[in-house]
Structures are given as C-alpha cells and as structure tokens.
Amino acid sequence: MNRAEFLLAAAAAPLALRNAPSSLALVTADTESRLAVIDLDRDVVRSHVATRPGPRSIERVGETAVVAHTVLGAVTLVDTRTLEIRHVLDGFGEPRYTAGTPDGRHAFITDSGHVDVVTVDVLRGAIVARLKLWQWPRHLSLSPDGRMLWIGLGTASQELAVVDVSDPLHPRLRGRVRPAFPAHDVGIAPRGKRAWVTAGASSEIAVHDVRTGRVLHTLPADPGPQHVTFLAGRAFVTSGDAGTLRVYDESTLKLLRTSEIPAGSYNVQFAGNRVLTPSLNAGTLCVVDRSGLVKRKLRVAASSHDACLARS
C-alpha cells in the first residue's frame, strides 16, 4: 500500500461509522496493514482502518486505541470515536504491549528493543518519559488505582519488574518479583490485591499477593504460554497452543469451565460484558460471554494477534 492509498483508506474510516452500532471492537489484521472494525451487536466485520504494516497489539486507553507495530518500531494512536488516526509515533525499538491510566491520558508501552517502558501522552501524541529496565519487557498490567505496574521481562521471565507510575512522567522502579516458574503474562485482578502470573512454557498459573509479591497459590493450567484477563469476578486464561479457554472463579480459584477455541488464540481481553480472543493461526475472533461460553466465532483476517473494545 502506497502513501496515497494509506491516507485515502484512513480518511474513509469515519464514513463507516454512520449509523454505527453501540458496540465496536478493533482487531489487528497483522499481515494486512489494517485493523478490522467488528460490529459486536451484529457479529460482522463492518469496515477497516488502514495502518502502517504489522499492527500487533492493541489496547484502549480512554478514547484512544494504542496500536503497536513491533517490527517497524512505531505506535499508532486511533480515535475510538471516529476511527481516525490521530498520531503515528516513531522512536521505539520493538513496542510490545500497552496499559493505560484510568483517566485515559497516559499509556505505558513496553519496548523490548530499547529495554524500557515508555510513557506516552495519548492526547498530545508524544513520548513523555522512559524507564530503563534490565531485560526485555513484554506483557504488563496496571493496578486498578493506576499507581503500580507489574511487567514481565521476556516470553519466559525469571523476574517481574514492579514500577511505580503514580506520577506517569517520572516512573520509578520499586522492586522485583520472582515468579514460581518462568513467567509470560501478568494480570492484576480488579480488586487490586492479587496478580495472576502465567507460564511461558509449563502448565501452571501462580497467584501473587500484590503488596508483598509472595506466591499465594499455584493452579494447574493448559500448556503455556497462557494469557489472562478478568470479567465479572472470573479470570479467563487462554492457552493458544492447546486451543482452550479456562474460566476460574477469581476469589475461590475454582475452575468453572473449559471452552474450546481455535489454536493460536493467545491474547485475551475483556470488552464490556464480553471477552475477546483473536487467533494468530486462524484469523478468527471468538466472542465469549461472562460464563466462558463461546457465543460467536468470526473470521476477521488472515492472522489476528490482538483485539480491544472501541465502543461499548
């Protein structure tokens, strides 16, 4: 796609929002240089937003969708109200994943190429801070009060970094947590007291005390790497290699359901009263209800790495 085609397609995106439904999701079409706009009420691909090549991860921060292009070293900021691209930021090495402040102003983006975590002001479209770490940061989770990040360092991490971001412009390293096994993903539960840490290769999950970092419980799981999100008092854990989604009671840790999903469904994200998990292998998006039942499986692209809610 040349620059003229890119700008034409991006400019056309707001027109697709006429008579738009109440619920929209954005899904990365990794090999097609675009985002798929999914109508979650009608279960169809409504339109597309053209991007630079290789959109990998996507996260909603306030009214901005933050899209990381890991290979290019760039980040695209999309207005979720209009689907217009507001900014494209260069200056990254390998941007990976994003967490956003509760006020929707700042995004924290892991950059494994530069081995740091980057603060972006999504309203200004500017990098405003960096904190150097000691290994390759990847998955991360922000506490519900917006004050503390837990960051995994690599795909199978021996340590997690704990970073104080109470002042987003001056992030500070607060400590390190040693997981029970080489870790992959981390999710701080909505009450803010527990962090669920998934494995890079083994079939287990650990639940940590957020305040002390201590391991409280370990749970059996399907093969790693797993990913985790939370909705309605439940933890949803995917195993992309096994093609499964496990649902646990967040408080009792009881396994409530195991659902079959397409192989390659690694990332998982809550979206309003739903859970979304796209597939790298199949290019599908599974829409899951709060009980863990797969309600819809939509074909959205050749390969889909990540998804987020654009409008509820």
Q: Which residue has the higher pLDDT, 11 or 35?
A: 35
How far is it, in rounded angstroms, from Cα 6 to Cα 33?
Answer: 9
Residue 2: the pLDDT is 41
The range of the structural domain enclosing residue 205 comes to: 3-311
pLDDT of residue 3: 39
pTM: 0.93
Task: Give the pLDDT of residue 20.
Answer: 53
Into how many domains does the chain fold? 1
Q: At residue 12, does pLDDT exceed 60?
A: no
Mean pLDDT of 248-264: 97
Asked if residues 125 and 74 have their Cβ atoms less than 8 Å apart, the reply is: no
Residue with tokens 């309003």: 272
pLDDT the model gives residue 246 = 98
Asked whether the predicted pLDDT for residue 257 surpasses 90, the reply is yes
pLDDT class for 22, splitting at 50, 70, 90?
A: confident
Three-state DSSP at 297 gives: strand
Q: What is the mean pLDDT of residues 62-78?
A: 98
Coil, strand, or helix at residue 286?
strand
Torsion of CA 278, 95, 100, 252, to 10 degrees: 50
For 233-249, b/e burial (b = at least 16 CB within 10 A) is ebbbbbbbbbbbbbbbe
> How much is the pLDDT for 312?
83
Residues 111-139, mean pLDDT to the nearest whole number: 98
Contacts of 137 (CB under 8 A, 6+ apart): 96, 110, 111, 112, 115, 116, 117, 151, 152, 153, 161
Q: Would you state the pLDDT for residue 19?
A: 53
How many other CB atoms sit within 10 Å of the CB of residue 254?
A: 10
**3-class DSSP state of 14:** helix
Mean pLDDT over the full length of the chain? 94
Could you tell me the CATH number of the domain that includes residue 31? 2.130.10.10
DSSP 142-197: E-TTS-EEEEEESSSBS-EEEEE-SSTTS-EEEEEE--SS-EEEEEE-TTSSEEEE
Q: Is the predicted pLDDT of residue 155 greater than 50, yes or no? A: yes
Measure the CA angle with vertex 161, ends 156 and 165; round to 5°.
Answer: 140
